[in-house]
Structure 1
């Protein structure tokens, strides 16, 4: 396992995930009755600061179809959490207009690169172009001086 499991932290993440799903109107319990669903969801909501109660609730009451989804969400959250500790692995985000993102995405696929690699490549290309233009203008100025 690459990332350490922090029981209290992960119980909190599980609680947040399940409460969010519940608020979106999804049935997070294994019970078909609406009143029982509401009761069990309230029970989960009340156990927010008790990791052992959250884990027990998940084992007893969580819907079968959420088991894999919850595991995937927690695994992704764990990865983001530990990657955020180091500056070089921390993810940053930028806002792009759809048309810009679409062009960048097409170019990335064409170059067989990630979006980040493509952006770095484009910046490097622009910087080398500026250096080349500066050298050329210096050479032109030198040639003009020689021809005078």
Structure 2
């Protein structure tokens, strides 16, 4: 395993994930009856700061449709959490208009690069073009001075 598991932290993430799903209207329990669902979710709500209670609740009451989704969400959260510790691995985001993203996406597929690599490549090309232009203008100026 690449990333260390932090039991208390992950129990909190699981709690947050389940509560978000519940608030979105999804049934997070294995029960069909509304009143039973409400009472079981109330127990989960009260156990926010108790990792052992959260894990016990998950083991006893979690919907059979959720364990895989929950594990995937926690794995992704763990990865983002540990990658965010270092500046070099922390993800950054930028807002692009759809048309710009579409052009960039097509270009990066054509170049067989990721979007980040494509942006870096384009910046490098622009910088080298600017350097070339400045060298050319300097040579033109020196040629003009020679011909005077």
* TM band (smaller chain): over 0.9
Counterpart for residue 37 of structure 2: 37
Q: Which whole-Å CA distance do the structure 2 matches of 1:66 and 1:111 have between them?
A: 39
**2:11 alignment partner, SS class:** helix
| Deviation (angstroms), 1:35 | 1.0
**2:90 alignment partner, SS class:** coil
List gaps (5 residues or longer) in structure 2: none
For residues 63-105 of structure 1, the C-alpha deviation after alignment (integer angstroms, 9 at most, x for no partner) is 1111000000000000000000011101111111111111111
Q: Could you list the structure 1 runs, at least 4 aligned residues long, displaced by more than 4 angstroms after superposition.
A: none
List gaps (5 residues or longer) in structure 1: none
Q: Which whole-Å CA distance do the structure 2 matches of 1:64 and 1:112 have between them?
A: 40
Q: Report 1:47-86 matches (<5 A).
A: 47-86=47-86
Q: Report 1:87-106 matches (<5 A).
A: 87-106=87-106
Q: Which whole-Å CA distance do the structure 1 matches of 2:42 and 2:124 have between them?
A: 54
**2:111 aligned with 1:115:** no
**2:17 aligned with 1:13:** no
TM-score between the two structures when normalised by the length of structure 1? 0.98
| Deviation (angstroms), 1:41 | 1.1
TM-score between the two structures when normalised by the length of structure 2? 0.98
Q: Which whole-Å CA distance do the structure 2 matches of 1:45 and 1:97 have between them?
A: 40
Tell me the matched-pair count. Answer: 148
